[in-house]
């Protein structure tokens, strides 16, 4: 094959996104349905493979800052990764991923992150599972609280325009302390988070936007949809929470209390909830809260010293880490990491390694949600037990990483 790989132009966007739909096996949306996606496209950060004039593979990047333990980093949010079925198993994805990571390094972004459509794809490119999320479900009649922080504020429903004006203030309060969350621009809120698009797959209706306030200060919000249900005169609808964000414990209680009190609802569902969800511990009957864990954010360390120096550590650490990386040879090698809660230094060294791990496993532990000791027991990391335990204490972080929205 004679394949050209390059960014796409605005005139090529519709073909680009059509290829992405085909690669995912999804119905191809008409241009009017992809207008929000087009508004977010950073054309210079796209890559497409052209077989003649045909686009046969795609990827792109959203540029944002992502919260890491104790800090924040410029991050490449990888998205739109697809290969047409006619051109699979020909090395296009590998070539595309290598070029993209090289470009990320040239832009001085220490980490890349993505959501994986399949968990078997990205480990070979150095991405590791850095965060998990929960899908939760509960019968509304089983939502009695046993314990809850006091909620002294009030809730009110908003229009989408009012949500656009008030919700970013809440999000930006939570952002600095939550590893895995990323910055949202005004354009992002308008075209990604808040558009009221019909969900044809689930038959849920229009979105509702609710704000929690105390003394006029926005401290929390929730976005949800409802679906009618029931028979024989007994209403049994469903309520699906798209996002719930709380900048205080009272806001968290107030919003869940509101959602549990919506009439005509039998089942409440929520996707992309944090793996350490406090709600479980607030319920009188926590077993009724069905939880399904799955991987969410995958992280790839592109610049080891810059990434490790940007975050903070919960305990003192002084360790030599040997990073194995056959995909991006510029990260391979041994690094002396020394620091603690107030900061750290990381530099290359020829000293003997205390811990040996792959680039993917470094990505997995980077956000503080995965223990090195766990990976060692899984046969993925090498190191003495005591060294790994001390490193776990340093790398571990509270709260656990959480990315509330797919990008």
Active site residue 64: no
Cα angle, residue 367 at apex, residues 362 and 373 outer, rounded to 5° = 55
Tokens of 130: 């850095």
3 state SS of 61:
strand
Element (H, E) at 157: strand 154-158
For 223, 227, 229, 293, the CA distances from 264, given in Å and listed in that order, are 18, 10, 8, 28
Active site residue 122: yes
**How many helices (H) and strands (E) in the chain?**
11, 21
Q: What are phi and psi of 190, to 5 degrees?
A: -70, -40
Q: Which of 84, 75, 268 is nearest to 182 (CA)?
A: 75
Tokens of 164: 């656009």
Q: How far apart are the first and last CA of the chain?
A: 32
Q: How many residues does the chain have?
A: 407
Which pairing describes strands 154-158 and 290-295: parallel, antiparallel, or unpaired? unpaired
Tell me how far apart the alpha carbons of residues 404 and 215 are, in angstroms, rounded to a whole number: 27
The residues, any chain, with a CB within 8 Å of residue 52's CB and separated by 6 or more, are: 2
Tell me how far apart the alpha carbons of residues 77 and 42 are, in angstroms, rounded to a whole number: 11
**Cis (ω within 30 of 0) for the bond into 399?**
yes
Does residue 221 contact residue 163 with C-beta atoms inside 8 Å?
Answer: yes
For 54, 162, 274, 295, the CA distances from 292, given in Å and listed in that order, are 40, 33, 11, 10
Which residue has tokens 């004039």? 53
Alpha carbons within 13 A on the beta-carbon side of 322: 11
- The one catalytic residue in 62, 64, 122, 125 is 122
3 state SS of 134:
strand
3 state SS of 403:
coil
Residues with a known catalytic role? 122, 407
């Amino acid at each position: 094959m004679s394949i050209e790989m390059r960014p796409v132009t605005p005139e090529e966007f519709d073909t680009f996104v059509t290829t992405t739909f085909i690669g995912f096996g999804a119905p191809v949306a008409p241009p009017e349905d992809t207008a929000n996606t087009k508004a977010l496209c950073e054309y210079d950060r796209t890559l497409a493979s052209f077989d003649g004039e045909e686009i046969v593979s795609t990827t792109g990047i959203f540029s944002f800052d992502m919260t890491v333990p104790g800090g924040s980093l410029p991050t490449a949010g990888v998205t739109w990764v697809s290969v047409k079925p006619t051109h699979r198993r020909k090395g296009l994805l590998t070539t595309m991923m290598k070029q993209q990571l090289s470009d990320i390094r040239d832009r001085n972004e220490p980490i890349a992150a993505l959501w994986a459509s399949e968990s078997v794809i990205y480990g070979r490119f150095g991405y590791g599972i850095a965060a998990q999320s929960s899908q939760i479900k509960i019968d509304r009649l089983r939502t009695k609280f046993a314990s809850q922080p006091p909620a002294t504020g009030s809730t009110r429903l908003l229009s989408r325009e009012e949500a656009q004006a008030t919700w970013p203030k809440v999000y930006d309060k939570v952002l600095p302390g939550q590893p895995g969350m990323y910055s949202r621009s005004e354009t992002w809120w308008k075209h990604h988070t808040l558009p009221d698009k019909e969900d044809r797959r689930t038959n849920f209706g229009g979105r509702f936007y609710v704000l929690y306030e105390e003394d006029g200060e926005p401290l929390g919000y929730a976005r949800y949809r409802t679906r009618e249900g029931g028979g024989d005169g007994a209403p049994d609808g469903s309520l699906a929470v798209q996002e719930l964000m709380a900048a205080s414990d009272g806001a968290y209680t107030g919003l869940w209390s509101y959602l549990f009190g919506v009439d005509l609802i039998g089942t409440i569902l929520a996707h992309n909830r944090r793996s350490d969800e406090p709600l479980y511990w607030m319920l009188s009957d926590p077993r009724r809260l069905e939880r399904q864990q799955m991987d969410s954010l995958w992280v790839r360390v592109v610049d080891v010293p810059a990434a490790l120096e940007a975050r903070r550590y919960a305990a003192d650490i002084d360790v030599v880490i040997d990073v194995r990386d056959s995909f991006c040879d510029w990260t391979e090698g041994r690094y002396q990491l020394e620091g603690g809660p107030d900061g750290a230094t990381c530099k290359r060294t020829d000293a003997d390694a205390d811990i040996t791990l792959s680039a993917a496993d470094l990505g997995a532990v980077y956000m503080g949600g995965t223990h090195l000791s766990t990976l060692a027991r899984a046969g993925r990391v090498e190191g003495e037990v005591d060294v790994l335990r001390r490193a776990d204490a340093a790398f571990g972080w509270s709260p656990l990483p959480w990315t509330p929205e797919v990008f």
